[in-house]
Amino acid sequence: MATQMQQARAGRITDAMRQVAEYEGLETELIRQRVAEGTIALCANINHATLEPRGFGLGLRTKVNANIGTSSAYPDLAPELDKLAAAIAAGADAVMDLSTGDDIDASRRAIIAKSTIAVGTVPIYQATVEAIRDRGSIIAMTGDDMLATIEKQAKDGADFMTVHCGVTQATIARLRQQGRTADIVSRGGSFLTGWMLHNDKENPLYERFDDLLSICEKYDVTLSLGDGLRPGCLADATDRAQVQELLILGELVDRAWARGVQVMVEGPGHVPYDQIEANVKLQKQLCKGAPFYVLGPLVTDVAPGYDHITAAIGGTLAAAAGADFLCYVTPAEHLGLPNIDDVREGIMASRIAAHAADIIKGVKGAWEWDLEMSKARKALDWDRQIKLAIDPVKAANYRQARNPGGAEACSMCGNYCAMKIVGQYLGKSPESC
């Protein structure tokens, strides 16, 4: 079966392209053209039966991902399925199953079966866990193990996969020569680096990239080329190792597109505010407009407990500069596994960042949404304001709890509501606006 990119290049419009066009309010032919050229990715594994496809890329609404999954400390699947439901209800466009608990296969299959949104995975996590369990250490893992895990996850219906193909011996040499404050904070990047240094071998995901492409082509998995050398603190941002990895990823984008495999490229985590735009533009240039997926970026290192806010600040600028897909950061980042409330807060923060950027990017409907809210505020139409809110549940709770008796004006202004007073003197009642 042909991939979405292969079909787009052949001039065929798929059901997924039609659904994305309808969701975005754009012409179907425009979606087909951009899928064909690679600037839009439709993450839609042929085996994900419950999926409602979304597009990620040029001219589309900035999308938001939520990370969920079991861990060795919290192996129970049930809370992660609750987080999946909460993420979908909160408006996430994708989730990533980062499970490292007792039964990774069961976790992934359950999440994919219940998810109507795209599901991503990081196969090196499972390959590493199983190598430790079955062979006693990470270093005993083989390239065949990595590819077997990738194929298993693809067969199960994973729509996109983070693969750290750019962590090579050359990249690590750059890292060691320059030095870093926080070294490597990517789990996948650290697993592969440890394996490569101990075995004195090249990264199998880089060496056997054509085998990886064959798996992705078979199931139409979108490659999310991971940033294993992403900066984990501001001091390490935009260093030689990060840029070296990005150069390699740009070359791998070319190779994937030549096979008709869809690609996204992942970007940095901790970045000073004044470097964010440059990072986005560099990625877009080197990777020829491939969709860009960023974690945050986080603009300060000193806000544990509030890192959903630090990420939203950076995410707004990144998306306005051209990033297409924001991975949420929750208040629990750097502190522990997020609970269901953390998931919701993280999604909402990233959705606000994404929407603020969409207004600047001219995404269809973004400006109009804000205008409708302004009109509802002028009219003191509380029901419509709540309906238009990015988080109607929270807005309704605040309104009900802090305005006894459903007062016309909010309790912040009470009898001195600016809109009501000015409306009266201009000859406009709130109801007529």
Residues at the annotated binding site? 67, 96, 125, 164, 186-188, 227-230, 266, 270, 293, 334, 410, 413, 417
- Separation CA 381–CA 391 (nearest Å): 17
The annotated binding site for Zn(2+) is made up of: 270, 334
The annotated binding site for [4Fe-4S] cluster is made up of: 410, 413, 417
- Separation CA 86–CA 343 (nearest Å): 8
Largest CA distance in the chain: 80
The annotated binding site for substrate is made up of: 67, 96, 125, 164, 186-188, 227-230, 266, 293
Which residues partner with 96 through β-bridges?
67, 120
Query: 235-238: long-range contacts at Cβ-Cβ below 8 A with a sequence spacing of 24 or more?
Result: 235/180, 235/181, 235/182, 236/180, 236/181, 236/182, 236/270, 237/268, 237/270, 237/271, 237/272, 237/275, 237/279, 238/268, 238/271, 238/275, 238/278, 238/279
